């Protein structure tokens, strides 16, 4: 029984009534959206199911896992199967109402014993291929293991073995848990990510969730020794081609992610975390200065007008303010922002999230900057009626005001960017229009551009 908010629930209640232990909905854009659970939560549940079947002889229909915040959630088991040297358990990913590419995919965990000192759980599990013939002692050294050179369970791990469970201290001295990725789980190929180069792309929080879930199940059977857990995602390699993974330096599959264990529909967290990873990589590979652009227009401009390889740019989408904050926090010494005037003009009024649903203000910026540049009232008022920034630029061009207007606009953009960045980081901007023509630069843009090119 589980006590929650003054009421007791059974494990079955929890599985059938997800709202009992979690607030299962959020409201975004006036819509009621259902929450889901992360690939990390699925991997932890699948691992617990595989170990329960392997060591305890049980075929669970659902598995309870503890989330990083301490809440518990129960996931239904899709499938359990016996293989030559262990047990594989599968959980189907449910992303709720979030447009997640992993929604509906199977997250699988294969559990195998590498070395067992004792197993006091149920004998005769019914899984003839599990390699366990009942309780008692078992010889060390598992014949089909991909790892070799293990001593007793109390011996220290080699450097290679420690890397399989990177970053986590031993939670239980008598049980070692090694975690790796298999089919459909990517490998880290570039520095700056959550895991070192060469490791499976299973992030730190999911690794801890997997380890804690496995240890809980193993302790329940009296097991001591060494277990290996291999996470796989059938179809993950193909799905990963539609994600940021190849650009980030994760090859061959998807990542096992999640910090809270729960997917928040329409959440910005995943995009911001991607920006953070890109910034970390660029600083490690290219040095102290960052080249940033909101999207594909900026990439084309960087490649074809500035003649810099566009892969060096950090894509920040609409999250300009948060990108500046992250860059400063990661120790960047300078940031050069390149973007279309229709997006970056919003910075002049202090709008640091440039998505239209957050704020717009383009017409107001054009109108006020036109007046400050010497425009007459009628020309300025025309700015308020413009649908696009290109239309407004045409009006300014006809009035002979494009150069003074851009001087005013760039000074205001520089003021807002400098305020956001603070004193510890240089920041500048280059603004362009269609046809990739440069409209304006802030005062230190050429200096930062030279440093980036160097």
Q: What is the pLDDT along the chain (454 residues), one digit of tens a residue?
A: 343 333 334 444 545 434 444 445 555 555 667 788 999 999 999 999 999 999 999 999 999 999 998 888 899 999 999 998 999 999 999 988 777 889 999 999 999 999 887 655 443 344 433 434 333 333 333 333 332 222 223 222 333 333 344 333 344 568 999 999 999 999 999 877 889 999 999 999 999 999 999 999 999 999 999 999 999 999 999 999 988 788 778 999 999 998 888 887 656 777 888 899 899 989 988 789 999 999 888 998 999 999 999 989 999 989 999 999 999 999 999 999 999 999 999 999 999 999 877 888 899 999 999 999 999 999 999 999 887 888 899 999 999 999 999 999 999 999 999 999 998 899 999 999 977 789 999 999 999 999 999 8
Distance set, CA 339 to CA 135, 237, 434 (Å):
66, 33, 11
Q: How far apart are CA 134 and CA 431, in angstroms?
A: 71
- Token pair, residue 380, equals 């300025």
pLDDT at 150: 25
- What is the model's pLDDT at position 32? 63
Q: Are 117 and 152 in contact (CB under 8 A)?
A: yes
Give 365: exposed, middle or buried? Use CB within 10 Å, 0-12, 13-18, 19+: buried
> Which ranges in the chain are annotated with CATH 3.30.2110.10?
25-263
Q: What is the DSSP string of 6-29?
A: TEEE-HHHHHH-GGGTS--EEEET
SS3 336: strand
Residue 321: per-residue pLDDT: 96
What was the pLDDT predicted at 297? 85
Residue 326 structure tokens = 């992250």
Is residue 429 within 8 A of residue 442, CB to CB? The reply is yes
DSSP type of residue 355: -
Q: What is the pLDDT of residue 141?
A: 35
pLDDT at 309: 93
Is the CB of residue 436 less than 8 Å from the CB of residue 344?
no
CA distance 448 to 453: 9
Name the 3-class secondary structure at 401: coil
pLDDT at 404: 97
For domain 25-263, the CATH architecture is 2-Layer Sandwich (3.30)
């Amino acid at each position: 029984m589980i006590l929650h908010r003054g009421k007791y629930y059974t494990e079955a209640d929890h599985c059938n009534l997800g709202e009992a232990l979690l607030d299962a909905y959020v409201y975004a854009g006036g819509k009621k959206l259902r929450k889901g659970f992360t690939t990390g939560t699925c991997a932890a549940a699948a691992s617990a199911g595989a170990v329960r079947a392997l060591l305890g002889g049980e075929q669970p229909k659902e598995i309870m896992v503890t989330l990083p915040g301490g809440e518990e959630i129960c996931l239904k088991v899709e499938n359990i199967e016996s293989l030559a040297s262990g047990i594989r358990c599968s959980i189907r990913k449910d992303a709720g109402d979030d447009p997640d590419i992993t929604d509906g995919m199977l997250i699988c965990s294969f559990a195998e014993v590498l070395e067992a000192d004792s197993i006091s759980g149920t004998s005769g599990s019914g899984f003839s291929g599990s390699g366990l013939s009942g309780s008692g002692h078992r010889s060390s050294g598992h014949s089909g293991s991909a790892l070799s050179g293990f001593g007793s369970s109390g011996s220290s791990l080699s450097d290679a073995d420690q890397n399989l469970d990177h970053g986590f201290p031993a939670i239980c001295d008598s049980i070692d848990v090694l975690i790796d990725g298999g089919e459909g789980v990517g490998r880290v190929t570039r520095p700056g990510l959550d895991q070192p180069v060469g490791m499976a792309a299973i992030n730190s929080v999911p690794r801890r969730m997997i380890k804690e879930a496995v240890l809980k199940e193993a302790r329940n059977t009296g097991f001591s020794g060494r277990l290996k857990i291999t996470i796989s995602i059938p179809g993950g390699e193909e799905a990963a081609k539609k994600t940021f993974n190849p650009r980030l330096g994760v090859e061959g599959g998807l990542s096992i992610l999640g910090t809270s264990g729960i997917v928040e529909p329409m959440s910005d967290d995943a995009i911001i975390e991607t920006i953070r990873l890109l910034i970390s990589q660029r600083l490690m590979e290219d040095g102290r200065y960052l080249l940033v652009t909101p999207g594909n227009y900026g990439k084309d401009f960087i490649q074809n007008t500035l003649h810099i390889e566009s892969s060096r740019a950090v894509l920040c989408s609409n999250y300009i303010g948060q990108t500046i904050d992250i860059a400063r926090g990661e120790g960047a010494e300078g940031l050069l922002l390149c973007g279309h005037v229709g997006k970056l003009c919003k910075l002049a009024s202090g709008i640091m999230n440039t998505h239209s649903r957050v704020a717009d203000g383009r017409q107001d910026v054009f109108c006020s900057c036109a007046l400050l540049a010497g425009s007459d009232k009628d020309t300025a008022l025309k700015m308020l009626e413009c649908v696009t920034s290109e239309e407004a630029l045409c009006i300014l061009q006809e009035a002979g005001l494009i150069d003074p207007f851009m001087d005013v606009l760039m000074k205001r953009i520089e003021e807002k960017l400098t305020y956001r960045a603070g004193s510890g980081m240089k920041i500048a901007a280059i603004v362009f229009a269609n046809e990739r023509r440069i409209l304006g630069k802030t005062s230190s843009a050429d200096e930062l551009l030279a440093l980036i090119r160097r």
